[in-house]
Amino acid sequence: MSPQLAKISAQFGKGVEERDYKDPCLSRFVELIVVETRTHYVPYATGTTIKRSIDGFLGIILKERIRTEFPDTAGRWPAFFREKTAIGEVFAHIMFPEAKFREEEYLEVFIPTIPDIAMLGNQVNDIFSFYKESVVRKEGYDYILGFSRMVKLSPVGC
């Protein structure tokens, strides 16, 4: 899957018609992101969705290529990796479709709420990821566990 995600990330600007992805799900995903998102969401939200999708692909690539637990001296690595894979900002924008919240009229109203909604979405996802990757599967490769190692606290203490 990584080579296909890397191809999407590298070729996103070429347009939907020039794609040649082996996975039909990825082809459809690219089409939906490039074509459909802009018909339902304000331009800023569309750009954010495209940007966060590419960051998500890059995060998946990193996770597949780097299969190790980083030491507590890895500094900001847990936060950097989380930023690559977090999609709270996209979820926050989904709450404000263009049909109800035209950018020209409502951007100044809803844009200040985006950081808080995104943070809440990311924190809820962190809890689910911790459970899935540290309790169920024992991967040890999630934000809560990485951050807890860095600050030398238990995951519950974080």
Name the domain count of the chain.
1
Long-range contacts from 141-148, C-beta under 8 angstroms, 24+ separation: 141/63, 141/67, 141/69, 143/78, 143/79, 143/81, 143/82, 146/69, 146/70, 146/74, 146/77, 146/78, 146/81, 147/78, 147/79
Q: Is residue 45 part of a domain?
A: yes
Q: Return the biggest CA–CA distance within the chain.
A: 50
Q: Is residue 133 part of a domain?
A: yes
Query: pTM of this prediction?
Result: 0.74
Q: Is residue 67 part of a domain?
A: yes
Q: What is the pLDDT of residues 53-105, one digit of tens each?
A: 888 888 888 888 876 666 667 778 888 888 888 889 999 998 999 899 988 89
Q: What is the pLDDT of residues 114-125, one digit of tens each?
A: 999 999 999 999
The residue segments making up the domain with residue 101 are 2-151
Q: Is residue 141 part of a domain?
A: yes
Residues 6+ apart with CB under 8 A from 147: 78, 79, 158
Q: Is residue 91 part of a domain?
A: yes
Q: Is residue 156 part of a domain?
A: no
Q: Is residue 30 part of a domain?
A: yes
**CB neighbour class for 20 (10 Å; exposed up to 12, middle 13-18, buried from 19):** exposed
Can you give the pLDDT at residue 83? 86
Q: Is residue 157 part of a domain?
A: no
Give the residue among 39, 31, 40, 56 at the shortest CA–CA distance from 96.
40
